[in-house]
A and B are shown apart, each in its own frame.
Chain A
Amino acid sequence: MNPDIDTTVDTAQPQGAPPVLAVRDLRKRFAETTALDGVTFEVRPHEVVGLIGENGAGKSTLLKMLVGLAQPDSGTIELRGERIKMRGIAQAGAAGIGMVFQEQSLIPNLTVAENILLGAEGPAVVGGLYRWRELRRRAQVQLDKIGSEISVDAVTESLSFADRQLVEVAKVLATEERTNAEPVVLLDEPTSVLDRDETEVLFAQIERLRTRASVVFVSHRLDEVLRVSDRVYVLRNGRTVAECVPGDVDEATLRKLMIGRDLAGSHYDEERQLPAREAVRLAVRGLTVKGVCDSIDFDLHEGEVVGIAGVQGSGREELCRSLFGALSSRSESVTMHGRPLKVRSPRAAIASDIGYVPAERRREGMVGSMSVAENITLPHISEVCAGPLLQRRKERALADEWIERLRIRTPSASAPLGSLSGGNQQKAVLARWLVSDSLRLLILDHPTRGLDVGAKTEVYQLIRDLTADGVSVLLMADSLEELIAMSHRVLVMKDGRVTEIIDAPAGAKPTPLRVLEGMV
């Protein structure tokens, strides 16, 4: 580790032209987590600025603020020397900041021309009526700027992803005429779904963009960031921790900066990590999810935690969902205890003693309007039924038991789950699977997301207790640190394939850097 590297933040240095966009000390706290904790950076005219950071470092929150989708608690955003406050994308666009979204924001059933000028038709609409010729002409001007040959009359959904991305760029450039100034273009993970050739085309486009705009390039592909950026800012835990110039740093240095010093403390309960048992519980061979995961092999032992490391789009979520039957897949063989495991639906997975805690707790993990007890018994309702009738007293007793065991803080078992704090909600979601005595495999997708430190610790302890009882766990985690600390082995995925499997025994954990190598 290189401790002095943290002190390289000095964004205030005036250098050449005044910045187009200057962000100073942005802070934002959500209910239980600090998303941004002092982000400072600036973008100068005709510059391409790279922005990197781990998942959860605050990149997406920052981008949202720059286009008015989120408001900072404190700190300022200055555009061409003027402090601005934006409420919504429309205002950001009017000011000359536009974002090219990772999940695209074009309306698929409209034409390219309509999309480029959507909401900013100007003289192309007179008296409430579209003047199609003017609309097409103005859209063509934008497409010419980027030298694209896409037809303005094409229906957007008929275009390839790469072409749609260019249309988004053109849409951002359309702000130029309105503001009479060069726009700031935010590119959020623009290469994540492009193939190699398309990526090259995009890079050429970025070079072209530079002549008439400033660009912020957000990516987790460090080689790309180093290639296209004039300067790179590193975010960590919601803070700008470094500003680098690509010529002076290499990928390894950037990785170190992204992760920071190892903060792994005792709260992962590492000494309680028992060696996994000999017996193989789950053996996966050649598992393929069309377009996402490609022939994945791994074993999971009894009492073992296997952590899956990978950036977004690496296919790890899909791998887990397919093992739970929520996504269809093909495979050479998947066996549990040596017997073929056929999981065509979550229902079948549950019958095979598999449990799944999704990352999107509010949407997929719980029914907020139903009580704690009702949420806990949902997949195992037959255990509290006598014939066709629910035995509410029995249900309540079961819920009370788990509320006590997991120390779920709730006024009562009949309180709506939505009224509890995030940590307690998550414990109830976990309890749902623990209720079954025969649980053998638990798939945890970011089980500590959005929880505070105390609640996280409780979840870690729960995982340790489960594995001590022989339950096997597949884990995806918010930070690499957490993933490595909790896992016996780490499965590293990149672009839908397993790049390596790293042992992580207690006391001899690999460094996050070592894991990151296979990821990006």
Chain B
Amino acid sequence: MAPARLGLAPPETGRAAGSPRPSRRPDRATILADFGPLGALVLLCILFAFLSPQFATWGNVRNVLDSASVLAVIAVGLTFVLLLGAIDLSIEGVMATAALSVALLVANSRNDLDFGFMGVLAAVAIGAGFGLASGLLSTGLKIPSFMTTLGMSAIGIGIATVLFGGVQPALRSPELAEWASGQWFGLTRLTYVAVAVVLIGLLVQRYTRLGRYARAIGGAEELALLSGIPVRRYKTLAFTFAGATYGLAGVMVTTQLGSGIVQAGVGQNFAAITAAVVGGTLLSGGRGGVLHSIVGVLIVTVLVNGLVLIGVSPYVQGAVQGVIVVAAVVITAWPLRKRLRVVK
């Protein structure tokens, strides 16, 4: 019966009284959130190119891309959690456990195991397991995600410390070492891994229910519920996907270092949240996306790289990064400030 439904007669009074056609231009807030970070990235590059002759060389571009790869993988996963309006503070713990797991499962100096690529998959799966646990705890027991994920991080560090057992497992796997050192067209293989993860992230965001629902839940959770979306399931799924990316990031760091250490993820949580927010993925949820976060990752990486090149002390760099985050949050949230009436 459907196609025949609503062969609407033109409303007699409605047309004339109708409101004017909405303008084609998106509002200022959207423009600022979408293209502001890209502009900032370009400006930053121009600035550093002026200040340091080494900045705009092929060697340095390669450097930047290489050092951005781990953070990019983390940021892809984190983006989905942030889109939901949740937060993930488990990154360092998950990376630690994944790093130790992969180091002990592939050919290494501590035991006789050698699962090769399966060891890598296992580490990623362990990461996903952590995400699943965070997601189930948050949705099932209705505990705020910052608490559950903070707890998960501590658990992850704890497990990693036990696995570490005082003797650092060094990688003895030439294939895995190739990941970090081997190059294709002048870029390390890890960079290609990162590009692949970003593409997968984009696919998930644009073409799957997870991406769509994450934005809907972050935008208006009540509506998501009233639309029959299984909100808990998709929240848990987002955390699980994020956990898997942290697991992969743990593996990547381990190949770079050549051994598994508990500190594999130190500093990455703050850096990833910084990158996402600087790129325009709002902590309040619903806005932004993978590409935004990647632009943020590049901004953060270029910033660190540039500051080193122009000779700023590494002691000062952390503070500079903090200032940038606060500034970025103020700028992206500025057009929305009237809507953020109560902030806790």
Task: Give A contacts to B, CB under 8 Å.
Answer: 32, 267, 324, 326, 345-347, 349-351, 356, 358, 363-370, 374, 378-379, 381, 385, 388-390, 392, 405-407, 409-411, 415-416, 419-421, 423-424, 432, 434, 437, 452-455, 457-458, 461-462, 465-466, 469-470
Contact = CB atoms under 8 A, between A and B. Distances in A.
A471 to B, nearest CB: 8
Given A409-B19, A410-B22, A437 B1 contact: yes
B296 to A, nearest CB: 18
A454 B212 contact: no
A326 B225 contact: yes
A457 B12 CA distance: 9
B229 to A, nearest CB: 7
B209 A390 contact: yes
B225 to A, nearest CB: 6
B286 A466 contact: no
Interface string B80-109: 000000000000000000000000000000
Contacts of A369: 30, 215, 219, 286-287
A419 B27 contact: yes
Given A416-B26, A423-B19, A454-B11, A324 B220 contact: no
Interface in B23-60: 23-24, 26-27, 30
9 contacts: A267-B13, A349-B228, A364-B222, A369-B30, A378-B229, A405-B8, A434-B6, A461-B9, A465-B5
A446 to B, nearest CB: 15
Contacts of A406: 6, 8
A458 B16 CA distance: 12
A409 B22 contact: yes
A370 B17 contact: no
A235 to B, nearest CB: 25
A356 B225 CA distance: 12
Contact of B222 (A363, A421, A455): A363
B242 interface: no
A415 B216 contact: no
B230 interface: yes
B11 A458 contact: yes
Given A370-B215, A407-B8, A457-B13, A356 B226 contact: yes
B15 interface: yes
B208 A388 contact: yes
A347 B233 CA distance: 13
Given A370-B215, A469-B1, A454 B18 contact: yes
Contacts of B1: 437, 469-470
B230 A347 contact: yes
B185 interface: no
A469 B22 contact: no
Contacts of A453: 13, 17
Contact of A458 (B2, B14, B230): B14
A356 B226 CA distance: 8
A371 to B, nearest CB: 10
Contacts of B310: none
Given A369-B286, A374-B216, A424-B22, 5 more contacts: A368-B219, A407-B11, A419-B22, A454-B18, A457-B14
A432 B227 CA distance: 9
Contacts of B286: 367, 369
Interface of B: 1-2, 4-9, 11-19, 21-24, 26-27, 30, 206-209, 212, 215-216, 219-220, 222-230, 286-287
B226 A346 contact: yes
A367 B30 contact: no
A346 B227 contact: yes
A425 to B, nearest CB: 10
A347 B23 CA distance: 35
Contacts of A388: 208-209
B11 A363 contact: no
Contacts of B11: 407, 454, 457-458, 461
A377 to B, nearest CB: 9
A454 B8 contact: no
A390 B18 contact: no
A420 B24 CA distance: 10
A364 B18 contact: no
| Highest count of chain B CB atoms <10 Å: which of A364, A367, A381 | A367
B228 A367 contact: no
Nearest to B219: A367
Nearest to A432: B227
A367 B223 contact: yes
A421 B223 contact: no
A364 B215 contact: no
Contacts of B229: 347, 378-379
Contacts of B8: 405-407, 461-462, 465
A390 B207 contact: yes
B305 to A, nearest CB: 33
A324 B291 CA distance: 37
A451 to B, nearest CB: 10
Contacts of A421: 19, 22
Contact of A326 (B19, B220, B224, B226): B226
A432 B17 CA distance: 24
| Highest count of chain A CB atoms <10 Å: which of B219, B229, B286 | B219
A212 to B, nearest CB: 34
A452 B228 contact: no
8 tightest CB-CB pairs across the interface, nearest first? A454-B17, A437-B2, A367-B219, A347-B228, A454-B14, A350-B228, A421-B19, A379-B227
Contacts of A326: 225-226
Contacts of B21: 409, 411
A409 B23 CA distance: 11
Nearest to A423: B19
A63 to B, nearest CB: 20
B17 A411 contact: no
A47 B9 CA distance: 55
Contacts of B228: 345-347, 349-351, 379
A434 B3 CA distance: 11
Nearest to B24: A411
B212 A367 contact: no
A436 to B, nearest CB: 8
A434 B5 CA distance: 9
Nearest to A453: B17
Contact of B220 (A366, A434, A455): A366
A269 to B, nearest CB: 9
A452 B17 CA distance: 8
Nearest to A451: B19
Nearest to B15: A454
A197 B66 CA distance: 75
Nearest to B27: A419
A32 B7 CA distance: 28
